[in-house]
Amino acid sequence: MRTPVFTGSCPALVTPFDQNGNINYDAFGRLIDRQIEAGVDAVCVCGTTGESATMSIREHIAAVEYCVKRVDHRVKVIAGAGSNDTSAAVYLSQHAQDSGADALLHVTPYYNKASQTGLIKHYEYIADRVDLPIILYNVPGRTGVSFKAETYQILSQNPKINGVKEASGNFSLLAHTRFLCPDDFYIWSGNDDQVVPMMALGAKGVISVVSNIAPEVMVKMSHLCLENDFEAASRIQIQYMDLIDALFIEVNPIPIKAAMNLLGMEAGPLRLPLCDISPENEKILRASMERMGLLKG
């Protein structure tokens, strides 16, 4: 029987850049340490929030290597390795494995709009060439393609496929997946505003954007769910909805980087085609952070 890569809360780490556009490893290291000190159960490097889509292959590999070394076995490291090119996904996966990562996160191939059969072949091809557990990543709003529950059912038969980060917002898909797939095909929320309802339907935790600035909150919420105290977890989910909404007022990771910079966390600039948050939305974000006590008014 498979065991979940992690249970609880895992930050989808921002990749800090300096003003010259290079990875700011000092700030990155501080971010990793801060998350672990807050009690997170794993960290995810080079995912959507980490701007992996605008990182070179060399940078991607270096960032994963750095994260693994900085974490130093304190928690699990999940390395983003997805691509719309299956061979590139294998290449990134093998390098992550060689770096000492504990698991892989593989987004559905974007732009190509693969069929369900194509998705199955893509993931089986990768699984045949690595030893690490694979977490699928379903985020159709970005990739243009979504898994079907029947596709999860087929992929769940592969022992190397540990489960899925579900960011479709489709609770019917989640319920049908739980019905069709074995109990050891695990699900994690990919949406900070849906942690509690997804965990009520059997998800094992969250891969979180909000954790970059409020790790203790996401740890407590997810752990209360794991303890079946959904009433207390729901109160936290509702309490932080205003902040969560503000952190997604523009496409991720624009607002979370803005929030981190407001807090002096040196997240740095974004890479084009992403650009700075608008002044109007920064005011909304700042006001929400002030209401939640993260910033002084």
**Domain ranges (residues) in the chain:** 8-230
What's the pTM value of the predicted model, to 2 decimals?
Answer: 0.97
63-67's contacts with Cβ under 8 Å and 24+ in sequence apart are: 63/15, 63/23, 63/28, 64/95, 64/96, 64/99, 64/101, 65/99, 66/23, 66/25, 66/28, 66/29, 67/13, 67/28, 67/32, 67/43
Structure token pair of residue 139: 């985020």
Handedness of CA 34, 36, 41, 47 (dihedral sign): positive
Cα-based torsion angle of the residue sequence 73, 74, 75, 76 in order, rounded to the nearest 10 degrees: -10
Taking the CB of residue 262, how many other CB atoms lie within 10 A of it?
A: 17
Which of these is catalytic: 76, 160, 165, 257? 165
Nearest CA-CA partner of 38 in 211, 193, 183, 175: 211
C-alpha atoms less than 13 angstroms from C-alpha of 232 in its C-beta half-sphere? 12
What does the pLDDT read at residue 189? 98
Residues 218-255 have pLDDT tens digits of 999 999 999 999 999 999 999 999 999 999 999 999 99
Q: Phi, psi (5° rounding) for residue 264?
A: 75, 25
What does the pLDDT read at residue 1? 85
Per the listing, tokens 């966390």 go with 265
The class (CATH top level) of 8-230 is: alpha beta
Active site residue 165: yes
Residues 69-98 have pLDDT tens digits of 999 999 999 999 999 999 999 999 999 999
With H, G, I as helix, E, B as strand and everything else as coil, classify residue 10: strand
Q: Are 210 and 247 in contact (CB under 8 A)?
A: yes
Percentage of the chain exceeding pLDDT 70: 100
Mean pLDDT of 97-101: 98
Residue spans of beta strands (DSSP E) within the chain? 8-11, 42-45, 76-80, 103-107, 134-138, 161-166, 186-189, 205-208
The counts of H helices and E strands in the chain are 13, 8
Mean pLDDT of 125-131: 98
Mean pLDDT score of the chain, rounded to an integer?
Answer: 97
Cα-based torsion angle of the residue sequence 165, 171, 173, 174 in order, rounded to the nearest 10 degrees: 50
Which of these is catalytic: 123, 137, 152, 240? 137
What does the pLDDT read at residue 296? 85
- Residues with Cβ within 8 Å of residue 95, at least 6 apart in sequence: 61, 64
